[in-house]
């Protein structure tokens, strides 16, 4: 089974923790009905956008599960997890910032992985920031990198240390293990 990133823009003015928690119950149920599994959920601190990681057979099953849960996806792409295993990501190491980088069109996966290995040692130059994991789209269009950091400026310093651009930074909502907004499959 492959991993899929689904990004969803939540209803303007209606996004809140309670509403999303209820929706997650339905998304998980709909995914399971299609032999897929919701592994991770990250939500913008203002509840305007959600990032879902599914494990499933194909992109179509993810799209069907989200549509059945009335959660349209703005983007669904197959991804590769770097920095952790799927089980570790499912347990959700605390992260509070997500960085999106739209990859250059000529960058190949092997080049990306070699660059990441070479540059990652430089995160030590910004000890207040902890890199957690990256999801890189298999079509090499973008990647999402997750961090634990005291503030956005620290994330920017960490990205500079590893010579990696930033197209967008999103503050992530704090987890709530008992409610399902914990990144994993609890419920």
Would you say residue 178 lies in a domain? no
Would you say residue 140 lies in a domain? yes
* Alpha carbons within 13 A on the beta-carbon side of 38: 30
Would you say residue 147 lies in a domain? yes
H-type helices in 12-122, by residue range?
17-33, 59-68, 86-91, 109-119
Contacts of 22 (CB under 8 A, 6+ apart): none
pLDDT, position 180: 47
Which residue range is the domain that position 32 belongs to? Answer: 2-171
Would you say residue 185 lies in a domain? no
Dihedral angle, C-alpha 166, 168, 171, 173, nearest 10 °: -120
pTM exceeding 0.85: yes
Distance between CA atoms of 3 and 98, rounded to whole angstroms?
Answer: 18
Would you say residue 179 lies in a domain? no
Would you say residue 44 lies in a domain? yes
Q: For the segment 8-59, what is each residue's pLDDT rounded down to a tens digit?
A: 987 654 556 777 888 899 999 999 999 999 999 999 998 889 999 999 999 9
Q: For the segment 155-169, what is each residue's pLDDT rounded down to a tens digit?
A: 999 999 999 999 999
CATH number at residue 154: 3.30.70.3090
The structural domain count of the chain equals 1
Would you say residue 67 lies in a domain? yes
Would you say residue 124 lies in a domain? yes
Q: How confident is the model at residue 89 (pLDDT cuts 50, 70, 90)?
A: low
């Amino acid at each position: 089974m492959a991993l899929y990133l689904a990004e969803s823009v939540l209803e303007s003015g209606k996004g809140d923790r309670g509403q999303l928690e209820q929706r997650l119950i339905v998304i998980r149920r709909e995914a399971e009905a299609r032999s897929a599994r919701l592994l991770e959920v990250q939500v913008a601190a203002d509840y305007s956008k959600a990032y879902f990681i599914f494990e499933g057979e194909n992109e179509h099953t993810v799209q069907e599960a989200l549509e059945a849960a009335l959660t349209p996806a703005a983007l669904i792409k197959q991804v590769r997890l770097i920095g952790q295993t799927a089980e570790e990501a499912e347990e959700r190491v605390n992260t509070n910032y997500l960085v999106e980088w739209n990859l250059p069109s000529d960058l190949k996966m092997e080049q990306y992985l070699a660059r990441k290995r070479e540059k990652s040692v430089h995160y030590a130059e910004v000890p207040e920031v902890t890199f957690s994991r990256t999801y890189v789209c298999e079509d090499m269009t973008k990647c999402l990198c997750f961090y634990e950091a005291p503030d956005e400026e620290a994330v920017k310093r960490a990205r500079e240390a590893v010579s990696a651009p930033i197209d967008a930074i999103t503050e992530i909502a704090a987890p709530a293990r008992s409610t399902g907004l914990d990144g994993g499959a609890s419920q």
